[in-house]
Amino acid sequence: GNSVTQMEGPVTLSEEAFLTINCTYTATGYPSLFWYVQYPGEGLQLLLKATKADDKGSNKGFEATYRKETTSFHLEKGSVQVSDSAVYFCALNSNFGNEKLTFGTGTRLTIIP
Amino acid sequence: KAGVTQTPRYLIKTRGQQVTLSCSPISGHRSVSWYQQTPGQGLQFLFEYFSETQRNKGNFPGRFSGRQFSNSRSEMNVSTLELGDSALYLCASSAKPGQLNNEQFFGPGTRLTVL
């Protein structure tokens, strides 16, 4: 079945540091890949997505590239801010005609001023 | 446009009781999915409804059930509650299920505590 393996947290960085959160996946076919963010006390918000190999998703300074050869979708940001503190989830949809998302375990990110 | 709304936001029940959670999707969205979020198991898919039909179901016991109404609102029910059912239950809706550019929008969740 499908699975997503995500970098264990928590991750603590200083403001303006470079961020990488690793994500690898196992899936049949050609899944779509997503990064969701969850702020304290809230639901999930879609951060970025990519639907085919070599696509780069980007939003709010975050980027991730769909690498089929390494089955990876690592999240990066060049300069993090305190407001980026949240839990980040990598997810995939198998595109087999349903909306089921398979999530990674989540990575808690804390940015200190 | 209003987002996905879930009611109630917080709920406390005791073991053996049953509970019903409600989700109102974004206007025009016909697909609704439910997820359970716990510290131990993370985010797990419960089921998906589209046009009042369950299209997909996760690996949960039969105590977990759901339905969707003609206005696309959805409810999920958990019977004979167990301590392990304590979780954040998230609902998501989408407009173009099955399409590559489809996006799912999540509600704020219902926090269920079973005592």
What is the distance in angstroms between the Cα of B82 and the nearest Cα belonging to chain A?
Answer: 23
Show residues of chain A in contact with B105, CB under 8 Å.
46
Cβ within 8 Å of B, A 33-72: 36, 41-46, 49, 51-52
Distance (Å) of CA A30 to CA A48, A50, A75: 17, 11, 19
Q: Which pLDDT belongs to residue B96?
A: 76
Q: Which pLDDT belongs to residue B100?
A: 66
What is the distance in angstroms between the Cα of B30 and the nearest Cα belonging to chain A?
Answer: 12
How many beta-carbon pairs under 8 angstroms link A with B? 62
Chain B residue whose CA is closest to A105: B42
- In whole angstroms, what is the distance from residue A9 CA to residue B91 CA? 25
Residues B4/B104, Cβ–Cβ less than 8 Å: no
**Is residue A98's pLDDT more than 90?**
no
- In whole angstroms, what is the distance from residue A31 CA to residue A104 CA? 14
In three-state secondary structure terms, B95 is coil
pLDDT in tens, B30-68: 999 999 999 989 999 999 999 999 998 999 999 999 999
